A and B are shown apart, each in its own frame.
Chain A
């Protein structure tokens, strides 16, 4: 008996096909690399008017920057690597907490207790531990600084060290995933398609470089017990930027500028 199998697996494997896919992936990696090399993880404070340079010939955007400038004084840019919400949010939140010792202390206690609740949800103790330890180390190092200035400098420095910065992002992603899973009945209605909350966490929350949506922000805020105002700026026709407070009805503590695909930190007047 002579068999000749046309295995379907082999068909997707033809060279032309594979090179296409490979090259796209390759190109994505390369673009990511180039972005990384050209933008700091978290930048310095810049005036809102610095946005004008990006939109010098665009009436709609110029109008919106003007509106933004009436409400906000500074912007702090973050690296557009898909982690910008988590990085910007945690930076902005910790920075704000520094000016209020009691609030910082409350948050420190919340963070201290967060690991055991993740382990209870089934996250492996030892993988969570590394990120937790780094997260707590950063909080401790900042709070140990003698002055507010020093603390802010330390925060900025740690958030620009890839190792620390990425571990902060990872831990916040895990906390967000934990929050989604703990309240999965509530969050399941926000997930499109046939995915379960757990699938969604594995696919869109826990992996690095995955961009964040409303649902990530809501869960991250709940996990940190705070609120975020997201200021939307796109090419839509209105003359003003639109604001969304997440979770709905919360008092905004951190302000973020959202332009399609990217978040930066904002500082109110």
Chain B
């Protein structure tokens, strides 16, 4: 890292990485092995492909698990392995953000930054060289859970000023009663709008590799009934407005009747 990079806070971003491409031979072999395990020991809802032109890049698709507000959503990530991988973790970024407008999760910022300790972007257990791309993707998938409102970092600093973490975890509370459910309503809506329709129609103009595009198209058909059910069960919310993120104060009218019909 040169002196000029001191204020570069994009150290996590695979897209603004200035490291020269010179993978060590062990890193090259290891990246290939990591990809191979993803093909041989497939994980439900997790798909990844390498980049034929530059082995450092890996493209991943995580499908939102059933019975969560992310259900059936397509979350597309770009990873970039450092030259000394797996000594250091990859850089990783979420690209399903409606062009930087939607924060899908307390840990998944609208900038695409992913706050988890194994990526070095949050406190806690660090990356270990014994981990691999599939274990990293599983960790990210676990963020897409039933009640994302309670994920760290949302609760770490806000409520922890006087109590230890363990204490707070026992007595964790919503800021305003009902917040968690309201948060889920927003995420459900944004998942359908951005992570389902937006991804299938490629609203963001993303260069998703063809094999992952095909997985999205096929999965869209498989999930279609579930999408419809969700929309129908939320139709009563049509026309309500939400503050999507208080950082950008984007007001958006929820129009469930327009999402899929």
A interface residues (Cβ-Cβ under 8 A, vs B): 1-15, 17-19, 22-23, 25-27, 29-30, 33, 123-124, 126-128, 130-131, 134, 162-163, 166-167, 170, 173-174, 194, 199, 202-203, 206-210
* A210 in contact with B126 (CB, 8 Å): yes
Bound Cα distance A105, B146 (Å):
55
* A30 in contact with B243 (CB, 8 Å): no
- A167: nearest residue on chain B (CB-CB)? B26
Distance in Å from the Cβ of A125 to the closest Cβ of chain B?
10
Distance in Å from the Cβ of B20 to the closest Cβ of chain A?
15
- A130: nearest residue on chain B (CB-CB)? B30
* Contact indicator per residue, chain B 1-33, by CB within 8 Å of chain A (1) or not (0): 100001111010000000000001110011001
- B110: nearest residue on chain A (CB-CB)? A13
Bound Cα distance A150, B109 (Å):
54
* A10 in contact with B132 (CB, 8 Å): no
* B179 in contact with A207 (CB, 8 Å): no
Q: How many residues of B contact A (CB 8 A)?
A: 54
Bound Cα distance A11, B161 (Å):
14
**8 Å CB contact of A25 from B109, B120, B129, B245:** B120
* B240 in contact with A10 (CB, 8 Å): no
Task: Check B246 for interface membership: any CB of A closer than 8 A.
Answer: yes
In the assembled complex, 14 residue pairs joining A and B whose CB atoms fall closer than 8 Å, in A order, are A3-B240, A4-B243, A11-B158, A19-B9, A29-B11, A124-B130, A126-B33, A127-B86, A128-B130, A163-B25, A166-B84, A170-B129, A207-B125, A208-B128
* A13 in contact with B127 (CB, 8 Å): no
**8 Å CB contact of A8 from B9, B33, B155, B241:** B155
Across-interface contacts of A130 in B (CB, < 8 A): 26, 29-30, 33
B interface residues (Cβ-Cβ under 8 A, vs A): 1, 6-9, 11, 24-26, 29-30, 33, 37, 84, 86-88, 103, 105-106, 109, 120, 124-132, 149, 151, 153-159, 166, 175-176, 179, 182-183, 186, 240-243, 245-247
- B129: nearest residue on chain A (CB-CB)? A170
* A10 in contact with B245 (CB, 8 Å): yes
- A194: nearest residue on chain B (CB-CB)? B166
* B130 in contact with A163 (CB, 8 Å): no
Across-interface contacts of B26 in A (CB, < 8 A): 130, 134, 163, 167
Taking A130-B30, A130-B33, A163-B25 as known contacts, 6 extra A-B pairs with beta carbons closer than 8 A to each other, sorted by chain A number, are A5-B246, A8-B159, A10-B247, A126-B132, A131-B130, A210-B126
Q: Which of A8, A17, A29 has the most CB of B within 10 A?
A: A8
Bound Cα distance A45, B2 (Å):
31
* A29 in contact with B1 (CB, 8 Å): yes
Bound Cα distance A33, B5 (Å):
12
Bound Cα distance A55, B132 (Å):
44
* B33 in contact with A13 (CB, 8 Å): no
